[in-house]
Structure 1
Amino acid sequence: MQRRLYPGRDFRRAQNIEELRQMARRRLPNFSFEYVEGGADDEFTLGRNRTIFESVTLQPRTLRDVGQRSLERSFFGRSAQLPFMIGPTGFNGLLTRDGDLHLARAAADAGIPFVLSNASTTSIEDIAAVDGIRAWMQIYLYRTRDHVAKLVERVKRLNLEAIVVTTDSAIFGNREWDKRNYAKPLQLDLRNRLDVLCHPEWIWDVLVPDGVPRFRNLGDLLPPGKDSVKGAASALAAELDPTLSWDDIAWLRDIWHGKLIVKGMIHPDDARLALQYGVDGVVLSNHGGRQLDGAVSALETLPEVARINQGRMEIFLDGGFRRGSDIAKALLLGANGVLIGRAGLYGLAAGKGPGAAHAIGILRSELDRTLGLLGCSSLEELTPDLIHAAPWRALAERIRS
């Protein structure tokens, strides 16, 4: 009998993130799935974000008591139940109604942080009201800095823990496969309009009765009546600021005294600068392969950044995480934690809030199993000797020396 993934629609039967991905593909219209899935140009970096994990091989210990295991990890001195969190992803209202709210509730139930995207279709106030939530806010440093300052004030009023400023999108990446769905900017071509009609469940969930979802944290930045996901695109593109520099991080540091995390760096020298500018954490990221094609993966630059850092900042990374073993490899190489993007969205698209919770549960179970099979009882026992591949092991050992 030929092997195949589960072909049905019951997200609870998904054994792994890839099965949730296939369910999401079947449930979503092509244009919506392509927005989640696609990368820049030839998608070399998008693919490398996954294949890089294959080069990090593990060397487990045996005859160790792993009957009791803990996946708990501390971020900024506060405990989290898992060493990963839900990272910022925009336009989630195009996957399911109140998509950000579903993700936030799943994160709160799992005891992990949730990072709300600046381009979300749920307000930061609604996210902050979720019971048990540990919410962080992502921002872009748009040209209209008054808008940014007002958003920071909203975050202050809600007493949120951290701001995550994304810095790798000052120029918009070339996402060709996404563009091919449109006859002209944000007007679907005939093929995709017909495809939408073939997804009545999605139409009733997302478009009825209020139409295309609207941005809830960009109101004063957008022209009147242009706050929908469709209408705001040109206004947001005009707000991207290619003059963005470390001076702008200094400005943000002056007006925000909570935890400040810079997301989107990939070069070790930028980690040195982050330390100089009083940043509390960094997210190593190539924007999920959606910006510069040909960029290295975050995992590749992680060991050198960890060596430079020497524990002074929190180091997070994203890009290509689909298995619990992927997360373990990042922790072995010096990460404090991991941001999950597409993996959570596949669960959300496949099964709304419960589907997102199932995605988190899959990663939790895989990570717990990996930890035990490595011969470890806690994340603190993940040491470089558990890496077999010589170059990676040497890099990891430099961190500890």
Structure 2
Amino acid sequence: MKDITCIEDLRQLHKRRVPRAFFGYVDAGSYAEETLRANREDLQKIKLRQRILVDISKRDLGTTVLGETIKLPLILAPIGSGGMQYGDGEIHACRAAQAAGIPYTLSTMSICSIEDVAANVDKPFWFQLYVMKDRGFCKALIERAIAAKCSALVLTVDLQLLGQRHADIKNGLSVPPQLLKFNNIVDFITKPGWVAGILRGKSRTFGNIAGHLPHAQDLASISGWVASQFDTSLNWKDVEWIRSIWPGKLILKGIHDVEDAREAVKTGAHGMVVSNHGGRQLDGAPSSISVLPKIVDAIGTQTEVLFDGGIRSGQDVMRALARGAKSCMIGRSYIYGLGAGGEAGVAKAIDIIAQELSVTMGLCGINKISEIGPQVIAE
């Protein structure tokens, strides 16, 4: 990791070390990838205002999110199939996040189960929930998160149906991978480290689902069940139902419209994540950073607004905070690190962004996260 200087370096290393199907799952977006590109391009269009001769000797990246003290304004976002990027990937990512003093969010579609992660880390983590048609299963998932002492529930609200991701179809993505397909055999032979790590992992299927559905005893039936469970009837009343079960902090992830943000506030959720699912759902939607200020202006301080969508650097974090976000989620940035080097790779990704943010703050004349606002943008 000593020669890694930026997130793109981790991306390139990830691409070399992980089979194309799993790299493509992380790297690609839906359809023509217009929204995926817009997330990055619109962040880069925001220019920062350089300041000089300001005492910046006491810079501090610490802040709070939902009342929790964290060492920098960053959260590891929920990513499905993390354990197929690196053996026991979710455990390694959670450990790296906790060592860095920031939250980690476990996906419903993780390879390691809630219980696996809880048994192998020192502190509570966040859990992300997909609401499926089988409400009994959803209730059981929430109860398992409660038993594991998860400190926040992140409800994803923008996946009532799945946007097509061309890369996944072309690469024949499956969990576990189809080992006997010729293209996969050739790909895996060139990545023996990845194969060995996956084989050592605790699970090679969806850990939160396997073993908890009596009618789904093998991979084919589990995958078929998941595909049938996207719920197009999901609505605001379901948020009320979840709040009746979950006693802790609730965050709604996938808010991308001012009207929806106002409705989200009415639910009493403790926070929301402005997100377009990383450009993996509605292609042709605006970038997350372009809608962030409108949402912040509309709801003021009624709830905490987090940001997700295209963060690849500390400069990007600065841009999002300047536009009104309380903190930022990263997905691809840390998964590139996970695929590149497990826990050390995730730690490297976090450190890269932290160091870039610290330098950026200094060159903008900022000492505290709370000082970051519109004044750091060069208009």
Under TM normalisation by the shorter chain, which class is it?
over 0.9
Instruction: Identify which of 241, 262, 270 aligns with 1:272.
Output: 262
The Cα RMSD (Å) is 1.9
Instruction: Identify which of 184, 188, 196 aligns with 1:204.
Output: 196
Instruction: Identify which of 217, 223, 236 aligns with 2:215.
Output: 223
Q: Does 1:248 align with 2:238?
A: yes
Note if contact 1:112-1:134 (Cα within 8 Å) is conserved in structure 2: no
Q: Secondary structure of the residue that 1:49 maps to in structure 2?
A: helix
Q: Secondary structure of the residue that 1:52 maps to in structure 2?
A: helix
CA separation in 1, counterparts of 2:173 and 2:49? 52
Q: Write the mapping of 1:123-142 to structure 2, written as runs, cut at 5 A.
A: 123-142=113-132
1:286-320 per-residue CA deviation (whole Å, 9 max, x = no partner) reads: 11111111111111111111112211211112111
Instruction: Label 1:255 to 1:32 Cα distance change in 2 as closer, same or farther (>3 A).
Output: same
CA separation in 2, counterparts of 1:184 and 1:356? 24
Structure 1 partner of 2:305: 315
Deviation at 1:208, TM superposition (A): 5.5
Note if contact 2:84-2:204 (Cα within 8 Å) is conserved in structure 1: yes
CA separation in 1, counterparts of 2:302 and 2:62? 20
Deviation at 1:214, TM superposition (A): 2.0
In structure 2, give the amino acid aligned to 1:245: N
Structure 2 partner of 1:82: 72
Q: Secondary structure of the residue that 2:215 maps to in structure 1?
A: coil
Deviation at 1:92, TM superposition (A): 1.0
In structure 1, give the amino acid aligned to 2:325: A
CA separation in 2, counterparts of 1:184 and 1:102? 22
Instruction: Identify which of 106, 116, 124 aligns with 2:106.
Output: 116
Q: Does 1:190 align with 2:175?
A: no
Decide which moves more: 149-158 or 164-173: 149-158
Instruction: Identify which of 339, 362, 381 aligns with 2:329.
Output: 339
CA separation in 2, counterparts of 1:280 and 1:60? 34
CA separation in 1, counterparts of 2:173 and 2:378? 50
CA separation in 1, counterparts of 2:174 and 2:89? 27
Q: Secondary structure of the residue that 1:152 maps to in structure 2?
A: helix
Note if contact 2:88-2:201 (Cα within 8 Å) is conserved in structure 1: no
Q: Does 1:292 align with 2:274?
A: no
TM-score normalised by structure 1 residue count: 0.89
CA separation in 1, counterparts of 2:349 and 2:201? 29
Instruction: Label 1:222 to 1:341 Cα distance change in 2 as closer, same or farther (>3 A).
Output: farther
Instruction: Identify which of 286, 292, 295 aligns with 1:305.
Output: 295
Deviation at 1:30, TM superposition (A): 1.0
1:173-193 per-residue CA deviation (whole Å, 9 max, x = no partner) reads: 110121012299975753333
CA separation in 1, counterparts of 2:55 and 2:151? 37
Note if contact 2:77-2:331 (Cα within 8 Å) is conserved in structure 1: yes
In structure 2, give the amino acid aligned to 1:150: A
Note if contact 1:102-1:353 (Cα within 8 Å) is conserved in structure 2: yes
Count of aligned positions: 376
Q: Write the mapping of 1:93-104 to structure 2, written as runs, cut at 5 A.
A: 93-104=83-94
1:87-118 per-residue CA deviation (whole Å, 9 max, x = no partner) reads: 10010111111000000000000000111000
Note if contact 2:132-2:230 (Cα within 8 Å) is conserved in structure 1: yes
In structure 1, give the amino acid aligned to 2:185: R
In structure 2, give the amino acid aligned to 1:103: A
Instruction: Label 1:173 to 1:296 Cα distance change in 2 as closer, same or farther (>3 A).
Output: same
Deviation at 1:209, TM superposition (A): 8.2
Q: Write the mapping of 1:45-56 to structure 2, written as runs, cut at 5 A.
A: 45-56=35-46
In structure 2, give the amino acid aligned to 1:20: L
Deviation at 1:131, TM superposition (A): 4.6
Structure 2 partner of 1:234: 224
Structure 2 partner of 1:363: 353
CA separation in 2, counterparts of 1:154 and 1:178? 30
Deviation at 1:386, TM superposition (A): 1.6
Structure 2 partner of 1:396: none
Q: Quick one: percent identity of the two aligned structures? A: 38
In structure 2, give the amino acid aligned to 1:336: K
CA separation in 2, counterparts of 1:131 and 1:253? 26
Instruction: Identify which of 337, 351, 362 aligns with 2:341.
Output: 351
Instruction: Label 1:278 to 1:232 Cα distance change in 2 as closer, same or farther (>3 A).
Output: same
Q: Secondary structure of the residue that 1:292 maps to in structure 2?
A: coil
CA separation in 1, counterparts of 2:174 and 2:362? 52
CA separation in 2, counterparts of 1:99 and 1:20? 16
- Could you tell me which runs of 5 or more consecutive residues in structure 2 were left unpaired when the two chains were aligned: none
TM-score normalised by structure 2 residue count: 0.94
Instruction: Identify which of 53, 67, 82 aligns with 1:63.
Output: 53
CA separation in 2, counterparts of 1:30 and 1:158? 34
In structure 2, give the amino acid aligned to 1:52: D
1:107-144 per-residue CA deviation (whole Å, 9 max, x = no partner) reads: 00000011100011112123234554341110111000
